[in-house]
Chain A
Amino acid sequence: MSDATTAPAFGTRALNALRVLISPRGAVFLLLAILLVAITALNPNFADPGQFIRFVQRVAPIAIVAIGQYFVIVSGEFDLSVGSVIATQVVLAGNLIGQDESKIVPVTLLMIGVGILIGLINGLVTTLLRVPSFIVTLGMMLALLGIVYYVTGGSASGNPVDSFREIGRGGIRDVPIFGIIPWAVIILAVTLAVAILISKSPYGKTLIAAGDNVTTQRYSGVRVWWVKTSAFVISSLSATIAGILLVGYAGVHPSVGRGYEFIAITAVVLGGVVLGGGRGWVVAAAAGAFTLEALFTLLNFADVPSTWRDTIQGVIIIAAVAYSAVAFRARRKGRAPLASPEQGKASESAPADPAPHTTSMEG
């Protein structure tokens, strides 16, 4: 969407760009830009590259979780267990690696294994046993949280060795302009690139289609259960990556990851991804995470009293999501082709989409 700002300010191109920006899929970028400008206005230091890269580092775990959540939501499901998966992985790293560097590789492999296992359970119970995914993942969330509290007794229990924490805390130092390029930023970039590749692949299109209309997909021979299950695996793997970053960034505490499911789902929705599946763009979901965090930072910089922050966050989130819902409905009522951005692959995969839903929404 960046061409919106660089395009010549005249003619239909600019008009189209404007439409994209106020469309739900583009709105998140507009909102992000406004928030970043507002933060910089309140605190010019923020625009300093060194400060900004730290901001990106901090958002990286949330953005990665949002990217994982995107795949689940676009396939028509939810994953509420991501916050607890993060807490589990953080505690695993703290307890099993300890101060022994030689354990970093085996424990990391174990954590990845645990992540895959959780995703498989979430996915298979949802698809094969037909339990609604928010029940399954809510159960998973509570089960994991219980284990974490049992293991830790509710408190911080020893951070893992510093070299492991370096992944989330450190980076490439002495870089011109930025000063430091945190590993977290690099990992986020790689994750995002992989996510774009996945969503552009035939698998990614099948996933969106599975969220859009399961029946059609079944008739056309797609193994929907497997497509959806793999989305859950992607989600819990992304939570695992976030956990590895957070154990470095913050340290071991059972509260790490708390609320991430809420932030991730909100970020994905802010990114214009429709709850219930069938539509969305992974980059916008990641941008949603940045937008949310920028909002939180703005509230900090604006010296909003701590007791008021949750309320303001809530109101802004509701407003943004409501805007997205209203805008989508307006588009469904007939103006759909106008605002669909050329980059969005949804326009390719969803030719059969608007009609059935228009009727069901209005019926």
Chain B
Amino acid sequence: MRRSINMAATVVGIAAIVALAGCTTDPSVTEPSEGDGTTEEINWFDQAVFDTQNAQRDVVPEGPEGQPYLQYIDAEMVDTSQYKVDGPKKVCFANASISNPWRITGWITMNEQLKVLQEQGAISEMETRDAQDSDDTQIADIDYFIEEGNCDLFLISPNSTAAMTPAVERACDTGKPVIVFDRGVLTDCPVTFIHPIGGFAWGIDTAEFLIDNLQEGDKVVALRILPGVDVLETRWAGAEKLFAEAGIEAVDYFTGADPAEIKKIISDELAKGDVNGIWMDAGDGGVAALEAFEDAGVDYPVMTGEDQIAFLNKWKSTGITGLAPVYSNFQWRTALLAAQKIFAGEEVPKEWVLPQKPITAEDLDEVLAVNEGMPDGHYATFGGEDLPGYPTVWQERIVP
């Protein structure tokens, strides 16, 4: 009797583990919760978007020199004079989460920018609600802001695209300005939508780099964090297409960003045969990938990682042929600067496409100098080097 109870307990326990494993997804991405849970295979590749992003990579951004967080690509400007107000105003920020190092870096930068804008008298305060990666929580947060927030502007970093659209529309209906950044929503009611070029641009930059540095028939191992997240899937969809066209043999694995898993995968691949290139959809774990080559005693691969400090340092110390694509972290700063512009009645881009320039070998020393002393989880394109707290706030990584 006791044994059968224990058996049942085990089944429940293991089910719980599996469920929990699903919840604790990798920190550097958040779960997508697209409303329509289709079971058929989704094709993430979209030729039109691919072409647009491909072209935007080569556009010289407009805006002030040396301030990438204020630059924009292919912008259609909109008039905001209707929102012009006097005196410092209150911003309400519905944040998806700060559950990964990329978001933490951005959140720190944003708070430093906030201090400056408060001193300048543009913003009185910013009330923030953290949805902790939950659609439901974020909808409640936005509704709270609408009802009781006494907000002069809504700043929204959506947790997911489809689910958040109605709540964003409700915020627009208040007549107060709405700014959306990072992930998008399915409505154009916000005054501006701020984001870097996108996942296909990442895929094109990285794939072209590997193709240029490898021969036809060479093998690339693609280390992907997890399936189903649009910002990550588009990176791979873009790269995969180019690899196929160039005759590069690319195999992809899901790693959960677990360095032990990454090492295992690379070891197995090296046991099978030569690995000439490593492609990553996010840089977390890049160091472990290179260490697997060291442990196996073979030459380093050509590699694309991300602008995370751990990878940049390893790149520098090993001298690999590398590239660090970026998902411009400074957009967190842009969001507040856009609020300042709107309060001042200055025009802003309707879709504010920020530059997304990968870090190349030529830039590496300069980027590392700017980011000297930063912790491993820091992102080099944080864009806060002209803010008062630089560099200690980021070095000590004090999360506000």
A309 CB to closest chain B CB, in angstroms? 8
Q: Which residues of B contact A254 (CB under 8 A)?
A: 27
Q: What 0/1 pattern do residues 234 to 257 of B give for CB contact below 8 A with A?
A: 000000000000000001111011
- B100 at the A interface (CB under 8 A): yes
Q: A253-B257, A306-B252 are in contact. Are A153 and B268 (CB under 8 A)?
A: no
Measured CA separation A91–B191 after assembly (Å): 43
- B111 at the A interface (CB under 8 A): no
Q: A262-B21, A276-B7 are in contact. Are A255 and B397 (CB under 8 A)?
A: no
The answer to whether A145 and B24 touch across the interface, beta carbons within 8 angstroms, is yes
B269 CB to closest chain A CB, in angstroms? 7
Q: Which residues of A contact B18 (CB under 8 A)?
A: 262
B75 CB to closest chain A CB, in angstroms? 33
Q: Which residues of B contact A301 (CB under 8 A)?
A: 268, 271-272
The answer to whether B264 and A156 touch across the interface, beta carbons within 8 angstroms, is no
The answer to whether B259 and A251 touch across the interface, beta carbons within 8 angstroms, is yes
- A58 at the B interface (CB under 8 A): yes
Find residues 218-276 in chain A having any chain B CB closer than 8 Å to their own CB.
246, 249-251, 253-256, 258-259, 261-262, 265, 274-276
- A134 at the B interface (CB under 8 A): yes
Find residues 285-327 in chain A having any chain B CB closer than 8 Å to their own CB.
296-297, 300-301, 303, 306-307
Residue from A43, A250, A296, A361 with most neighbouring chain B CB atoms (10 Å): A250
Find residues 282-297 in chain B having any chain A CB closer than 8 Å to their own CB.
284-285, 287-288, 291, 295-296
The answer to whether A265 and B271 touch across the interface, beta carbons within 8 angstroms, is no
B62 CB to closest chain A CB, in angstroms? 34
Measured CA separation A326–B335 after assembly (Å): 62
Measured CA separation A216–B264 after assembly (Å): 46
- B375 at the A interface (CB under 8 A): yes
Nearest B residue to A274 via CB reads B3
The answer to whether A255 and B291 touch across the interface, beta carbons within 8 angstroms, is no
Q: A301-B268, A306-B252 are in contact. Are A258 and B24 (CB under 8 A)?
A: yes
- A158 at the B interface (CB under 8 A): yes
Q: Which residues of A contact B216 (CB under 8 A)?
A: none
- A178 at the B interface (CB under 8 A): no
- B339 at the A interface (CB under 8 A): no
Q: What 0/1 pattern do residues 54 to 67 of B give for CB contact below 8 A with A?
A: 00000000000000
The answer to whether B310 and A156 touch across the interface, beta carbons within 8 angstroms, is yes
- A132 at the B interface (CB under 8 A): yes
The answer to whether A134 and B13 touch across the interface, beta carbons within 8 angstroms, is yes
- A16 at the B interface (CB under 8 A): no
Measured CA separation A147–B16 after assembly (Å): 20
The answer to whether A251 and B397 touch across the interface, beta carbons within 8 angstroms, is no
- A32 at the B interface (CB under 8 A): no
- B267 at the A interface (CB under 8 A): yes
- A347 at the B interface (CB under 8 A): no
The one of A149, A155, A253, A275 in contact with B10, judged by C-beta atoms closer than 8 angstroms, is: A275
The answer to whether B10 and A78 touch across the interface, beta carbons within 8 angstroms, is yes
- B1 at the A interface (CB under 8 A): yes
Measured CA separation A265–B269 after assembly (Å): 27
A51 CB to closest chain B CB, in angstroms? 5
Interface residues contributed by chain A, number (CB under 8 Å): 53
The answer to whether A307 and B227 touch across the interface, beta carbons within 8 angstroms, is yes
The one of B271, B272, B284 in contact with A156, judged by C-beta atoms closer than 8 angstroms, is: B284
Q: Which residues of B contact A45 (CB under 8 A)?
A: 271-272
Measured CA separation A208–B100 after assembly (Å): 44
The answer to whether B267 and A54 touch across the interface, beta carbons within 8 angstroms, is yes
The one of A78, A141, A255, A357 in contact with B258, judged by C-beta atoms closer than 8 angstroms, is: A255
Q: Which residues of A contact B6 (CB under 8 A)?
A: 76, 275-277
- B298 at the A interface (CB under 8 A): no
Residue from B13, B295, B296 with most neighbouring chain A CB atoms (10 Å): B13
The answer to whether B288 and A276 touch across the interface, beta carbons within 8 angstroms, is no
Q: A154-B28, A250-B288, A297-B268 are in contact. Are A262 and B17 (CB under 8 A)?
A: yes
Measured CA separation A265–B257 after assembly (Å): 23
The answer to whether A259 and B21 touch across the interface, beta carbons within 8 angstroms, is yes
- B260 at the A interface (CB under 8 A): yes
The answer to whether B375 and A158 touch across the interface, beta carbons within 8 angstroms, is yes
The answer to whether B27 and A157 touch across the interface, beta carbons within 8 angstroms, is no
Nearest B residue to A149 via CB reads B27
- B26 at the A interface (CB under 8 A): yes
Measured CA separation A154–B25 after assembly (Å): 10
The answer to whether A303 and B251 touch across the interface, beta carbons within 8 angstroms, is yes
A255 CB to closest chain B CB, in angstroms? 4
Nearest B residue to A137 via CB reads B13
Q: Which residues of A contact B253 (CB under 8 A)?
A: 306
- B361 at the A interface (CB under 8 A): no
- B321 at the A interface (CB under 8 A): no
Q: A250-B259, A251-B288 are in contact. Are A155 and B28 (CB under 8 A)?
A: yes
Q: List 17 A-B contacts (CB under 8 A).
A: A54-B267, A141-B20, A145-B24, A153-B27, A155-B101, A155-B104, A157-B376, A249-B260, A253-B258, A255-B256, A255-B257, A256-B259, A258-B24, A258-B256, A259-B21, A262-B17, A360-B4
Pairs A-B, 8 closest by C-beta atoms: A154-B27, A155-B101, A155-B377, A250-B259, A276-B6, A250-B260, A276-B3, A300-B268
